[in-house]
């Protein structure tokens, strides 16, 4: 097998010069380029091209576009009976965009003692900056005044790019995702990018599509139609789970 190299991106470039995502390596799946920066200009350019940053401590910034791509179309969310009961009971207080830094910090915590995280301080700072600019958002589950679950991601046009989620209480992350899909449907979003396949997300309705199809959908949907802004903190209060579909 012939080895291939990936391009190194100059972080001093006036405009991010990303290669076409079709040039991504097959192994490791989806690696496109290294280098560059995590500034708002670089991140927005990356997401529009179907790329996202993912790297470990000590590595350069690595940009990925895996094939296939896991996506969730908001209307395809699967709300199983057990989760619907939790939603109807309103065990958690669900808030929007009230403590983004706490959500990303919680997502960055290792899942097991001694584990590693890819949400390094530089990544947290970059996405907190995107939140300040109105591009990034958090869905938060609170219980008795404590943040116990949630997720964060980027919104661009009619696409939400999910980055990570966490749960300190049973079903908290599932509740956050369920609320996200209902809120996005109300806002006429067309697709949630879940990046990499997981059984957990597939059980809730996410499915794989090809990289080509994903990028074609981005061309139609990942287009800014107005200035970015924070979402109202009480936006989740408008969701009525008594009318929600169930599997």
pLDDT at 61 over 90: yes
- Report whether 52 contacts 42 (CB < 8 A): no
pLDDT at 247 over 80: no
Average of per-residue pLDDT across 183-206 = 95
Phi, psi (rounded to 5 degrees) for 128: -65, -35
Average of per-residue pLDDT across 141-156 = 98
Burial of 207 (0-12, 13-18, 19+ CB in 10 A): middle
pLDDT at 157 over 50: yes
The model's pLDDT over 174-185, given as tens digits with 9 standing for 90+, comes to 999 999 999 999
The predicted pLDDT at position 1 comes to 39
pLDDT at 2 over 80: no
Distance between CA atoms of residues 163 and 146, nearest Å? 22
Pairing of the two strands 136-143 and 31-35: unpaired
Q: Where is average pLDDT lowest: 159-163, 166-170, 176-180, 225-229?
A: 225-229
Q: For all residues of the chain together, what is the average pLDDT?
A: 93
pLDDT at 245 over 60: no
The predicted pLDDT at position 99 comes to 98
DSSP state of 80: -
CA distances from 135 to 49, 63, 147, 153, 191 (A): 16, 19, 22, 9, 16
């Amino acid at each position: 097998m012939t080895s291939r190299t990936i391009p190194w991106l100059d972080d001093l470039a006036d405009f991010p010069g990303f290669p076409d995502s079709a040039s991504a390596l097959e192994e490791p799946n989806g690696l496109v380029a290294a280098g560059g920066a995590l500034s708002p200009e670089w991140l927005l350019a990356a997401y529009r091209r179907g790329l996202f940053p993912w790297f470990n401590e000590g590595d350069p910034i690595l940009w990925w576009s895996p094939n296939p791509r896991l996506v969730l179309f908001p209307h395809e969310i699967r709300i199983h009976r057990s989760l619907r009961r939790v939603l109807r009971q309103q065990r958690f207080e669900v808030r929007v965009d009230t403590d983004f830094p706490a959500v990303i910090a919680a997502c960055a915590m290792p899942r097991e003692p001694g584990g590693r995280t890819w949400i390094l301080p530089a990544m947290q700072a970059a996405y907190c900056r995107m939140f300040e600019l109105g591009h990034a958002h958090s869905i938060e589950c609170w219980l008795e005044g404590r943040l116990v679950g949630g997720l964060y991601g980027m919104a661009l046009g009619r696409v939400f790019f999910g980055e990570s989620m966490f749960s300190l209480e049973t079903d908290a992350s599932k509740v956050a995702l369920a609320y996200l899909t209902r809120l996005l449907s109300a806002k006429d979003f067309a697709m949630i990018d879940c990046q990499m396949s997981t059984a957990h997300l597939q059980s809730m309705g996410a499915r794989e599509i090809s990289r080509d199809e994903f990028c074609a959908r981005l061309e139609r949907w990942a287009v800014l139609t107005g200035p970015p802004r924070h979402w109202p903190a009480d936006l989740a209060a408008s969701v009525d789970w008594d009318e929600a579909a169930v599997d």
